[in-house]
A and B are shown apart, each in its own frame.
Chain A
Amino acid sequence: MNPDASTIAAGAPIEVDLSPVAEGQDIKVFWRGKPIYISHRTKKQIDEARAVPVASLPDPQSDEARVKAGHDQWLVVIGICTHLGCIPIAHEGNYDGFFCPCHGSQYDSSGRIRQGPAPANLPVPPYQFVSDTKIQIG
C-alpha cells in the first residue's frame, strides 16, 4: 500500500523562480501535494529570528541552520503544522511568522515553533539554489 510509481514520479524535484517575489512577500507552491512557503524576509524579520536565544526555544534550532548561507533572506519551509497537519497562515500571529488556525500554534519568522501545541519547527524541505534567483525543491 506504499505510494505507487506514478505518485513517486509526480513527486520529482521542482524548480521555482524567485525573481518575482518582492521583499516582505511570500509565495506558496505545492510539492508532493504539500504546500511549501517561500518567504522573502525583510531585514527586520531576519534580525528578529536571530535575536532569540536558541536555547529558550521549544525545538532549539538556529535561524542560520534553517536557511542557506548567502541566501539568508529566503526561508523555505513546508507549510504543514507539526501538530496535526493543518496549513498555517503566513504573516500572522505574535512572532511575525506563521499562525495555525486549527489549534493555535504560532511560528516565528524562521518557521520555528514558539507557542501552542505543535511539538516541532516547520520542517525545511530538501532544496538548493540553482542560481541566485532559482531554487530546486526536492
Chain B
Amino acid sequence: MSGPSDYQPSNPALQWIERRLPILGLVHSSFVVYPTPRNLNYWWTFGAILSFMLGMQILTGVILAMHYTPQADLAFKSVELIVRDVNYGWLLRNMHAVGASMFFVAVYVHMFRGLYYGSYKEPREVLWILGVIIYLLMMATGFMGYVLPWGQMSFWGATVITNLFSAIPYVGESIVTLLWGGYSVGNPTLNRFFSLHYLLPFLIAGVVVLHVWALHVAGQNNPDGVEPKTEKDTVPFTPHATIKDGFGVACFLLLYAWFIFYMPNYLGDADNYIPANPGVTPPHIVPEWYYLPFYAILRSIPNKLAGVIAMFSAIIILCFLPWLDAAKTRSSKYRPLAKQFFWIFVVVCILLGYLGAQPPEGIYVIAGRVLTVCYFAYFLIVLPLLSRIETPRPVPNSISEAILAKSGKAVASIMVALVAAGALFVGTLQDARAEEGGTRPPGNKWSFAGPFGTYDRGALQRGLKVYKEVCSNCHGLSYIAFRNLAEAGGPGYSPAQAAAFASDYKIKDGPNDQGDMFERSGRPADYFPSPFPNEQAARAANGGAAPPDLSLITKARSYGRGFPMFLVDFFSQYQEQGPDYVAAVLQGFEDKVPEGVTIPEGSYYNRYFPGHAIKMPKPLSDGQVTYDDGSPATVAQYAKDVTTFLMWTAEPHMEARKRLGLQVFVFLIIFAFLMYFTKKKVWADSH
C-alpha cells in the first residue's frame, strides 16, 4: 500500500501468481518491509489488538449465528440452548459477548492514544475521520448485537435507543416506524437487527482496510510526533512491529480470558437474563458500559431534542478535531498545558461514564450537566485556545535523537499503580464495615466461588430435593432437562438414576394417531415440567404475581455493589451477587413488620426483597424437608443448598469453564513470556 513493490518471489509458482496479481508484493510492502518508526511505544500495539478483536468477533459471531434463532418467542431460549447444549457454546457466547466489551476497551485506548499524541493532525486527517466512522459503525453493531439475546435490557434498550430518533422534528415518527417494522419494538425489529448485526462487521472490515491504507500512505505517527527522516529512524515492520504487536495481543488476551473464564457476566446486566416482556419496564434502564458517557450527556439535557443532538454531537465533534486543534506540535509530550488538559478530559469521560449508570436524580443530574459542559469545552474552547497561547517545549530534530535522550519514567507509573491499589484496598475495608445490619444481602461462603470453585455435589443433590418438594409447586425450571442431572459438573447422578428420576414425572405429549394429547412418564431428554400451563394461569393462581422460572434466577437477580466494590470485584472475581441475594430472600422473611413500612394485603414482609413487600409466602421452615445424609434440616441449610442447586441450573458448565480457564491462563502466560523475550532479542540492536 505504499507504492510499487520490488518484491521478487523465488518460487516459480509464486512468481507466476505475482505477475498476474501482485498480492504477495502488496503484503510484503505493507507488512514486511514497511518502515515503522523506531520509537513506538506499547500504546501503538492497540491497532493490532483491534484487528485481532475484529477477526475474533466475526469468527465467533458466524458460528453463533449457525445456532441462533432470530424470532421474538425463541431468541432468548435459543441463546440459552447455545450456552447449555452446543459444544463449547458457553465459550463461544462468552467470547463474543465479552469480546464486544474488549473491542471497545481497545478502541478507547486507541482513540485516547491518538488524542494524546496528536495522531489526527496533518497529514492524517482522513485516517482519523475513517477511524471515527469505524467507531460509529462499532457502536451501531454493538447496540444491535445486545438486542439479539432478547432479554429485558435488550428489549428496553432497543426501545429507548430507537425512540431517540422520534425527537427529530416532522420525520421522527416515520423513521422510528421504519426501524421497528411495526408499531413497537417486536419480532420484525429483532429480525432486521439480526440482519444488520451480521452485515455491519463486514462494513467495518472494509473501512478498516481504508484506515490501514490511509495509515500506510501517511505513515505512522509516533510518541515524539516528528516524521521519520532517515533510515535510522525506522525499523522494518517484520519482525520488529509484528513481534511487538504479538506480545501486546498476548497481554490483552490475558485480560480477555480473565473475563471469559472467570467473570463472564461482570460487564453485563442481570436483567438481561429475564426474557423480554413488553408489559414490564425494568426500574433502571442502563446501556452497555461503552455507551454510558454519551447516555449521561443525553440525560443531562432537559429538552429531548436538544439531548439527542448533544449526544450525537459528542461523537461527531471528533471528526472536526484536526481543525479545532491547530497547534503545530503534535505530541502532548512536548505540550505542557495540553498534556494536563488531556488527563482532565480523560477523567471527565470516566466520570460521565459513571454518571450514565446512576439514576437521573439530585446531585447526579447537576454533575452530569457540569461534566457535559466540560466535555464540549475541551474541544470547542480548550484545544483552539491552547493552540494559540501555549508555548511548546522544543521538539527533537529526529526520532533517533529522541531515543538517545530517553530517560526512565517507569518509577512514576509504578507509584501511581500502587496508590490506586492502596485506595481500592481502603475502599474494601470501609465497605465491609458499612455492610453490617443493612438490607444488603449478607455474603456467603459458596463452594463454587473463586477461580477453582466447584459445585458441592451433596449440596446440589439436597438442593434438588428441596426444589422438588417445595419450590416446584409454584416455580418452573424449564431450561433443565432430566439428562442434565447426569452430566459432568452437575449433581453427579448416573444416567440410570437420572432416568429413574425422570420416570417419576408425568409429561404431556402428543398428539397421537387419534389426534389426542396424552400423558406418559418422563424420559431423560424431557425438561422439568412447569407447574402452570402459561404465565396467565401462574399469575391468577398467585395473587397477580407470576412466580418466575428458576432456571436462571441466580443470574437474573443482583444488587448494586456500589463504588468502589465493583472495582474490587474485578480483582477478587466476586460473582455471587445473585446467589447471595437468593439465599438472603429465602431467609429474609420476618413476621414483625418494622415501623414505617406498610405491607399491602396479600404480601409478606421480606427484609432483602426490593420494596420489602413480596407476594411469595415464607417458603421454607425448619424440618420441612428430610435430608438423608444427616445435614441439619434448617432453613439456613435449605436456603444454601437450593441456592447452590439453582446456581448450577443457571450455569451448568461452570466447572468446565473454570477448568479450561486455568489451562488457557497457563498457556497464555508462557506464550506472553516467550513473545516478550523474542521481542527483546529482535529489538536488541534497535534501541
Contact = CB atoms under 8 A, between A and B. Distances in A.
B12 interface: no
Contact of B304 (A3, A32, A119): A119
B156 interface: yes
Interface string A97-112: 0001111100000000
Contact of A87 (B182, B188, B280): B280
B663 interface: no
B183 interface: yes
B156 A86 contact: yes
Contacts of B279: 28, 30, 35, 87
A32 B186 CA distance: 10
Contact of A104 (B177, B181, B182, B360): B360
A101 B286 CA distance: 12
Given A87-B279, A103-B360, A117-B304, A1 B163 contact: no
Interface string A31-75: 011110000000000000000000000000000000000000000
Contacts, number: 75
B384 to A, nearest CB: 32
Contacts of A104: 359-361
A94 B361 CA distance: 16
Interface centre among B164, B192, B281, B283 (most CB of A within 10 A): B281
A87 B177 contact: no
A33 B360 contact: no
Contacts of B183: 3, 7, 11, 32-34
B304 A83 contact: yes
Contacts of A11: 182-183
Nearest to B183: A32
Contacts of A35: 278-279
A19 interface: no
B182 A33 contact: yes
Q: What DSSP secondary structure best describes chain A's contact surface?
A: loop
A104 B358 CA distance: 13
Contact of B186 (A33, A102, A103): A33
A28 B360 CA distance: 27
Q: Which range contains the number of B residues in contact with the other chain?
A: 20 to 34
B57 interface: no
A84 B163 contact: yes
Given A1-B181, A1-B192, A33-B184, A85 B304 contact: no
Given A2-B181, A33-B184, A34-B183, A102 B302 contact: no
Interface string B481-499: 0000000000000000000
| Max chain B C-beta neighbours (<10 A), residue from A1, A30, A83, A102 | A102
B159 A85 contact: yes
Contacts of B361: 104
Given A28-B279, A87-B280, A87-B281, A3 B181 contact: yes
Given A3-B183, A7-B182, A84-B160, A33 B278 contact: yes
Nearest to A100: B281
B612 interface: no
A101 B359 CA distance: 10
Given A3-B177, A119-B304, A84 B159 contact: yes
Contact of B178 (A2, A7, A30, A87): A2
Contacts of A2: 177-178, 181
Contacts of B178: 1-2
A132 interface: no
B184 A117 contact: no
Determine chain B's interface SS by DSSP, over half rule.
Answer: loop
A4 to B, nearest CB: 7
A7 B285 contact: no
Contacts of B164: 84
Interface in B250-289: 278-281, 283-285
Interface in B196-242: none
Contacts of A101: 281, 283-284
Contacts of A119: 303-304
B679 interface: no
B299 interface: yes
Contacts of B302: 117
Contacts of B156: 86
Interface in B279-325: 279-281, 283-285, 299, 302-304, 307
A25 to B, nearest CB: 13
A6 to B, nearest CB: 10
Interface in B343-370: 359-361
Interface string A114-127: 00011100000000
B188 to A, nearest CB: 6
B360 A3 contact: no
B636 to A, nearest CB: 34
Contacts of A30: 278-279
Nearest to B180: A3
Contacts of A3: 177, 180-183, 188
Contacts of B359: 104
Nearest to B159: A85
Contacts of A103: 299, 360
B304 A86 contact: no
A84 B182 CA distance: 17
16 contacts: A1-B178, A1-B181, A1-B192, A3-B177, A3-B188, A4-B181, A7-B181, A33-B278, A34-B184, A83-B304, A85-B160, A100-B281, A103-B299, A103-B360, A104-B360, A104-B361
Interface of A: 1-4, 7, 11, 28, 30, 32-35, 83-87, 100-104, 117-119
Given A2-B177, A102-B283, 13 more contacts: A7-B181, A7-B188, A11-B183, A33-B183, A33-B184, A35-B279, A83-B304, A85-B159, A85-B162, A86-B159, A86-B281, A102-B284, A117-B299
